[in-house]
Amino acid sequence: MKLLDELAVDVRAYDHGHPVNRQFADVPQDEPEIHAEEGFEDELASFNLFAYLSRSSVTWNPSVVSVCKDSLYCPTTEEYILPVIHGNDRVEWFVQLSDEIYWDVEDRDSGAKRAKVIMKAGDVASMPADIRHQGYAPKRSMLLVWENASGKIPELISSGKLPSTAVQF
C-alpha cells in the first residue's frame, strides 16, 4: 500500500472512523495480494472495493474511486429511498454490485412513466440522458455509477449531435 500512502489516500478503515455497516457484516475484509515484478513494487496499489463500500457511512452519495480522463467510477451504497428525483443530463451506467435496487424511471421533462427497473446483483443498466429517476433499496446495497463527466456532453445531446441513449436496439 506504499503508493496509496504516498498519495495520502484515506482508505476507509475502522481506525479512521469507518466501521463495517451491520448490513455488510458478511463482506470479506481481506486486501488483494500484489505480486509485482522486481522494479515495479512502487508502481502498484490496490484495495478491496467491496470492503471499502461496506464501510461507507452514507447512502445515495457516489464517491469517485477511479478517474481515466473523463471516465469516472463512482460507487456508492444505497438504502431506503433516494431523497431526490435525479434528472440526468447524460447517459449514466449502473452496475448493481450487491443486493437490489428498484428504479422508477420517468421522462425528465414531462414526468411521464418510462419504466420500472429492478436491478439485482450483477445487473447492468444504461440510464438515458433524458430521464429522471428515483431509487429504492429494501436492504443496504452496493451500486457502481459510471459516467463520462465531460462538460461538453449536455450541449452535444441538446443540439442533437449525440443521442440520449448509449445503445439502440
Which residues are at the interface with Fe ion (CB under 5 A)? 86, 88, 92
Q: What share of the chain is helix, strand, coil (3-state, %, to 5)?
A: 15, 35, 50
**Shortest Å distance, C-beta 145 to Fe ion:** 8
**Shortest Å distance, C-beta 87 to Fe ion:** 7
Q: Are 23 and 55 in contact (CB under 8 A)?
A: no
Beta pairing class for 66-68 and 113-120: unpaired
Q: Are 137 and 99 in contact (CB under 8 A)?
A: yes
User: Would you say 44 or 162 has its CB closer to Fe ion?
Assistant: 162
> Which set of grid coordinates corresponds to residue 84?
431526490
> In this chain, which residue has its C-beta nearest to Fe ion?
86
User: Would you say 88 or 96 has its CB closer to Fe ion?
Assistant: 88
> Which set of grid coordinates corresponds to residue 2?
506504499
**Shortest Å distance, C-beta 67 to Fe ion:** 19
User: Would you say 24 or 94 has its CB closer to Fe ion?
Assistant: 94
**Shortest Å distance, C-beta 125 to Fe ion:** 11
User: Would you say 46 or 150 has its CB closer to Fe ion?
Assistant: 150
User: Would you say 98 or 135 has its CB closer to Fe ion?
Assistant: 135
Distance between CA atoms of residues 120 and 105, nearest Å: 16
**Shortest Å distance, C-beta 147 to Fe ion:** 9
Q: Give the phi and the psi of residue 143 in degrees, each rounded to 5.
A: -135, 135
> Which set of grid coordinates corresponds to residue 115?
419504466
Whose grid coordinates read 457511512? Answer: 57
